[in-house]
Structure formats: structure tokens, C-alpha cells
Structure 1
Amino acid sequence: MEITMTMQQEKLAYRVNDFCKAIGLSRSTFYKLLSEGKVKTVSIGGRRLVPVCEAERLLNGGAK
């Protein structure tokens, strides 16, 4: 009998579109916040990603 363990993987980062949908921002508002330095991203392989901790920070009022 084989026992298989499944791990639920949590996201570490969002693509910009997914991030905007997840927290209810338009892309233009996201890029405005980005240009103002109010949101941080990382680029991996030419793709801009938003760490999950940034979503949590913004939702807790961190974009002031």
C-alpha cells in the first residue's frame, strides 16, 4: 500500500494581473503605487512579481 502525501502549496508571489484582481486594484492604480514607491516588486526572468507580503501590507494600510 502506497501512502501519498500532498502538500498544499501557497503562493509566494503574484503576477501583476493576479495581484490586481486579488486585492481589487486597477492596473493603472497599481503602476501609480509602484512609481510612488508604495509597492515593491521583484523581477524574475523578465516577469514582474509582487510578493504576497506586499499584498498583506497594502491591505493593512501600508500604502499611505
Structure 2
Amino acid sequence: MASNDSGTFLTVAEVADLMRVSKMTVYRLVHSGELPAVRVGRSFRVHEQAVEEYLGASIYNADQAG
């Protein structure tokens, strides 16, 4: 099965709390493909590494704004 170093899958509610957004925002990101997720039954799980990568790629630098 999965090894301990493979990370953790988070629920939509956990991702929303981590990102400080609503669950609907997380669902929109998942459905648009911006945030990769796996479907487990009727719910989604998001790998914690995917959340970190999304947030890292979303950093806004005001000094470089056009």
C-alpha cells in the first residue's frame, strides 16, 4: 500500500480551511482542473503536495505587476 513518505490526502473541507477559502471555491478549482484531485465515491480528496504546489504557483509579486 502507500508508504509513509507519500504525503496525505485532504478532504475538500480541510483544503478550504488550509487555504482560508470556502468549500465551493475548492470545488471550483477541482472542477476547472486547476487543483488536481481524486474522486473517492462521491467525494474528492486532494493531495497535500498539490495544494502546496497550487499555492506556490499562485504567489503574486506586486513588484513585477505590469
Normalised by the shorter chain, which TM-score bucket?
A: 0.5 to 0.7
Q: What is the identity, as a one-letter code, of the residue corresponding to 1:44?
A: V
Unaligned runs of 5+ residues in structure 1 are: 1-9
More contact order relative to length (CA 8 Å, sep ≥ 6): 1
CA separation of 1:36 and 1:45: change in aligned 2, threshold 3 A: closer
Unaligned runs of 5+ residues in structure 2 are: 1-5, 59-66
More helix by share: 2
Question: Which runs of structure 1 show a deviation greater than 2 angstroms over 4 or more consecutive aligned residues?
Answer: 43-47
Percentage of matched positions with identical amino acids: 21
Q: Which structure has the bigger radius of gyration?
A: 1
**Residue of structure 2 in register with 1:29 after alignment:** 25
Q: What is the identity, as a one-letter code, of the residue corresponding to 1:53?
A: Q
Give CA deviations for 1:15-62 in whole Å, capped at 9, x if unaligned. 110111011121121121122110111123544211011110111025
> Normalising by structure 1, what TM-score?
0.65
> Normalising by structure 2, what TM-score?
0.64
CA RMSD of aligned residues (A): 2.4
Corresponding position: 1:48 with 2:44: yes
